[in-house]
Chain A
Amino acid sequence: MKNNTLVVLQREYFTRVKKKSFVIMTLLMPILMVGLMFAPALLMDIGKEHKTFAVIDETAYYAGVLENSAKSTFVFMSDTASARDSVVKGSYVAMLVIEKRNDTSNVQNMKLFYSESEPSLETVGEITDAIKTQLQSLLMHKIEGVDKQVFDKINKASVEVTSQDLVTGMQSYVEVKTIFGYVCGILIYFFIFIFGSQIMSGVLEEKTSRIVEVIVSSVKPMQLMLGKVLGLAFVGFTQLVIWVVFGFLLVTITSFIAGTAAAPDVSAMAGSMQMGGQNIDMSAMTEMAGKVGEMIASINLPYLILMFFFYFLGGYFLYASLFAAIGAAVETQEETSQFMLPITIPLLLALIISTNIIMEPNGQIAFWFSMIPFTSPIAMMVRLPFGVPMWEVGISLALLVAGFIFTTWLASRIYRVGILMYGKKVNYKELWKWIKY
């Protein structure tokens, strides 16, 4: 009879993998993901428009201080009246008047006259910062006789911290850890929902089409449910493998092309690039590539990927059978929403709490959320890159396994009654009765 679980699994797998929607989703998902990552940056660039300011510098100290940038141009003028006219006509967005100042005063007054729209806070902030630095420099020179070069040096003094693992000597990059953990958490979240709801609608389809009674006369409900859950797990697995292989190929091919192109004639290429008017420093590029490599090496990638698969599967198994139970309990897609809450809340909570976990990866919240099986797949994945003691990982995994055995048992009790139950309005009280049967 074990064999029948396999037959069910095969059907679930092949009917889904052969569907057009699977192929489309597999191809589209990475594009969507990349798109989502870059969309905010792109949108921000699109949203910015170029602005030209007229500047009347009554002090004559600030020429050259306001630098033209991609979004703003500063035109220094002497005639206030004509500058005002230009603003009114719309040639300039606004007119900035830097007023006369007592040489020893530490306040520089400015006036910003605008006609149609007020410049953004960001732009005004940039202007004031530049003016303030120049003002400080002027005052230092005036009062203490400090040279501009000396002032600039002092002004640009900074502190840099690098943290390093005492044992491996690896440098740590918190940003990489944060991103890795968060991406893993989000992937698990989406995977559970996408494949969970596929299981749910599959069960519902069998129930509403009334094929289920034929099937359960040859397969035990538990086997049918397991076949579905496992079948979908393999579908997800296939998708992941395709993505990983494609990603790997993409990286190898690009690095191969970059490598062969760069090796024979670096100087010529660098020359041609400069001729093209683009100032790309090849050494800076290789340095950056090296830095990225170093960043990735700073996290224990094989270990984290292994853990990802454990939590990914554990989390999926924990929730998948619950989705199956919901599909069995109801008769229409609309009714499913009333039972979705117990699934949505812990998962969503884990995702929201992730920001707290990143700030304090070993705090109380992080600890408990990564222990409770319903939240641990997401919470622990966010924590793991920062380093978690082995015993905690062990307990968390053990609890996760116990958790999915429990939910599978619970779900199968609901499932076996639900699939053959028609015409009954089901609520939580009714479900409890089914569990006790």
Chain B
Amino acid sequence: MLLQAKNVTKNYAAHRALDDVSIDVREGSVFGLLGPNGAGKTTLIRIINQITGPDTGTVLFNGEPLQQKHIYRIGYLPEERGLYKKMKVGEQSIYLARLKGLSKNDAEKRLKEWFYKFDIMPWWNKKVEELSKGMQQKVQFIITVLHEPQLLIFDEPFSGFDPINTQLLKDEILSLKEKGSTVIFSTHNMSSVEEICDDIALINKSKKVLCGSFEEIRRSFSAHLYEATLQSDSNPLQHVEKYVQVLENEMLERKNTYRFRLQSEHLDTNALLQNLMQHGQIVEFREMLPSMNDIFIKTVKEGEK
């Protein structure tokens, strides 16, 4: 485990921001930290960044309790982010990189590589206030990853990005993962969670309500729904109903093609397929797993009851 939070509790005056929250972030994984607004995600992220400390509980980085030196091994892109408006982009980037422990020369060399890569070298000597919001976001992203940290924390990284830049960013995050970085990723954008997260934790009302590998969680939320598409001369509905409960059926535009939505809790899929084969050509058969969006809404709504 690269990062472990154990039974972390944090109070702000009368408000409990985190209540006995534990998470495990595997080395080399992308970890999705999910939850509605005000659930306590940012507080947990701030604790990991040592901006604030937990009231009780511990956080381990590489098995060691969090210390000042770990700051240099973490890169953090906060949700509320900005830059000095009057300062030049290059100068400012070097400053922020130096705060993360890079030497001036190192920072400049690496920054120029990234600036060429993102094709924003002409902005080096411009003031930040002259840049568009998207440009500023790119600069912030570069600053976050520049010191090649072991752990990257992105809080709502895609907010304010257009689809093209969002894709660019996703690709960068995945390539960082391939190079061995571990990523903690906090977002409301559930489709991006499905695309890039290995593990997730869902925090609601200061408590962790869900955690584990994304695939396992998805499987555990399975409603045992299946979808079968068959090609047949006549509608095979009455035959199919003999083996399994059919929720819906429709005829597709393609000639002699029928689709069935099936539900069964203890389904032997091989046996079912063998039976179905006798009534037509199987075009497609799949289990319909819930989307992350469904899981999120279901879990949060249950918490409200």
A residues bordering B, Cβ < 8 Å? 1, 4, 7-8, 11, 15, 205-206, 209-211, 213-219, 420, 422, 433
Contacts and interface: CB of A to CB of B under 8 A. Distances in A.
Interface stretch (B68-76, B208-216, B235-243): B68-76
A413 to B, nearest CB: 13
Contact of A11 (B72, B74, B95): B95
Contacts of B51: 213, 216-217, 420
B23 to A, nearest CB: 18
A7 B99 CA distance: 7
Contacts of B13: 433
Interface residues of B, number: 27
A217 B184 CA distance: 15
B85 interface: yes
Contacts of B81: 210-211, 213-214
28 contacts: A4-B99, A7-B95, A7-B99, A8-B99, A11-B95, A206-B84, A209-B82, A209-B83, A209-B84, A209-B85, A210-B78, A210-B81, A211-B83, A213-B76, A213-B78, A214-B77, A214-B96, A214-B140, A214-B143, A215-B96, A217-B49, A217-B51, A217-B74, A217-B78, A218-B72, A218-B96, A420-B46, A420-B51
Nearest to B155: A213
Contacts of A210: 78, 80-82
Contacts of A205: 84-85
B87 A15 contact: yes
Contacts of A209: 82-85
Nearest to A430: B13
B225 to A, nearest CB: 43
A66 to B, nearest CB: 66
Sorted nearest first, the 5 A-B pairs with minimum C-beta distance are A210-B82, A209-B82, A213-B78, A218-B99, A217-B76
Contact of B80 (A4, A15, A215, A422): A422
B267 to A, nearest CB: 49
Contacts of B80: 210, 213, 422
Contacts of A8: 99
B83 A218 contact: no
A209 B68 CA distance: 25
B144 to A, nearest CB: 8
B82 A219 contact: no
Contacts of A420: 46, 51
Interface string B90-118: 00000110111100000000000000000
A211 B84 contact: yes
A17 B100 CA distance: 24
A11 B50 CA distance: 23
B149 to A, nearest CB: 11
A206 B95 CA distance: 14
A209 B86 CA distance: 11
Contacts of A206: 84
Interface string B123-136: 00000000000000
B208 to A, nearest CB: 23
A184 to B, nearest CB: 34
Nearest to B147: A218
Contacts of A7: 95, 98-99
Nearest to A19: B86
Nearest to A1: B68
Nearest to A207: B82
Contact of B99 (A15, A219, A422): A219
A88 to B, nearest CB: 67
Residue among A15, A213, A216 facing the most chain B CB atoms (10 A cut-off) = A213
A225 B81 CA distance: 19
A217 B87 contact: no
A213 B50 CA distance: 11
Contacts of A11: 95
Nearest to A221: B51
Nearest to B74: A217
Contacts of B77: 214
A7 B100 CA distance: 10
A138 B101 CA distance: 92
B86 to A, nearest CB: 8
A213 B84 CA distance: 12
A217 to B, nearest CB: 4
Given A214-B77, A218-B99, 15 more contacts: A7-B95, A209-B82, A209-B83, A210-B81, A211-B81, A211-B83, A213-B78, A214-B140, A214-B143, A217-B50, A217-B76, A218-B96, A218-B100, A219-B99, A420-B51
